[in-house]
């Protein structure tokens, strides 16, 4: 299975404008830019989208792991905080912190802890953040 997303950009880094779209249409030319990333401007930014993807992936993976352990959540709520820090070489995403609030009637703490650990380590987005990234580039002058 492969899913696609796309980004468009026009202009300079600070005064330019961009749009992000997804194959499903969940985002359709949604604006993003410098002000949304580094200030309090409108639109989204890559770190916010990575956080949403990681929170969603982890939460869905956890639901599966809980089911394997014989538990069903009435509610799983995850917040992901993505840290972007400036260093000598530019900006780097240095960490993602997940905060989970779970309601699981009759849950076994040890099985819950094991499911959480497994989901954190093995959801596809957690694995992606350690992945090999490939690229094909074409220049049209």
Same domain, 116 and 66: yes
pLDDT score for 138: 85
Which residues form the domain of 13? Answer: 1-44
Same domain, 38 and 54: no
Same domain, 76 and 11: no
Answer whether residue 94 is part of any domain: yes
| Total domains in the fold of the chain | 2
Beta bridge partners of 61: none
Predicted TM-score (pTM) of the model is: 0.91
Same domain, 61 and 30: no
Long-range contacts of the stretch 80-83 (C-beta < 8 A, 24+): 80/50, 80/51, 80/52, 80/54, 80/55, 81/51, 82/47, 82/48, 82/50, 82/51, 82/54
Which of 1-10, 33-42, 130-139 has the lowest average pLDDT? 130-139
Same domain, 21 and 79: no
CA distances from 59 to 53, 54, 73, 124 (A): 10, 8, 11, 11
Same domain, 2 and 49: no
Same domain, 7 and 52: no
pLDDT score for 24: 96
Answer whether residue 138 is part of any domain: no
105-138 pLDDT per residue, tens = 999 999 999 999 999 999 999 999 887 878 787 8
Answer whether residue 141 is part of any domain: no
Helices (H), 34-136: 34-38, 46-68, 109-122, 124-128
Same domain, 57 and 21: no
Same domain, 20 and 57: no
Assign residue 70 the CATH number of its domain.
Answer: 3.30.300.20
Same domain, 32 and 99: no
Is residue 56 within 8 Å of residue 128, measured between CB atoms?
no
Same domain, 6 and 55: no
Positive or negative CA dihedral for 128, 92, 16, 36? positive
Answer whether residue 61 is part of any domain: yes
**Is the pLDDT reported for residue 141 higher than 60?**
no
Mean per-residue pLDDT over the chain, rounded:
93
């Amino acid at each position: 299975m492969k899913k696609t997303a796309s980004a468009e950009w026009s202009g300079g880094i600070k005064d330019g404008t961009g749009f992000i779209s997804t194959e499903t249409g969940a985002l359709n030319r949604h604006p993003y830019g410098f002000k949304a990333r580094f200030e309090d401007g409108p639109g989204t930014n890559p770190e916010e989208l990575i956080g949403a993807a990681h929170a969603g992936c982890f939460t869905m993976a956890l639901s599966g792991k809980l089911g394997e352990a014989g538990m069903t959540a009435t509610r799983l709520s995850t917040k992901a905080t993505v840290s972007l820090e400036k260093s000598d070489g530019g900006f780097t995403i240095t960490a993602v912190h997940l905060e989970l609030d779970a309601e699981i009637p009759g849950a076994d703490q040890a099985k819950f802890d094991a499911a959480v650990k497994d989901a954190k380590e093995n959801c596809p987005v957690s694995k992606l953040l350690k992945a090999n990234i490939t690229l094909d580039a074409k220049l049209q002058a």
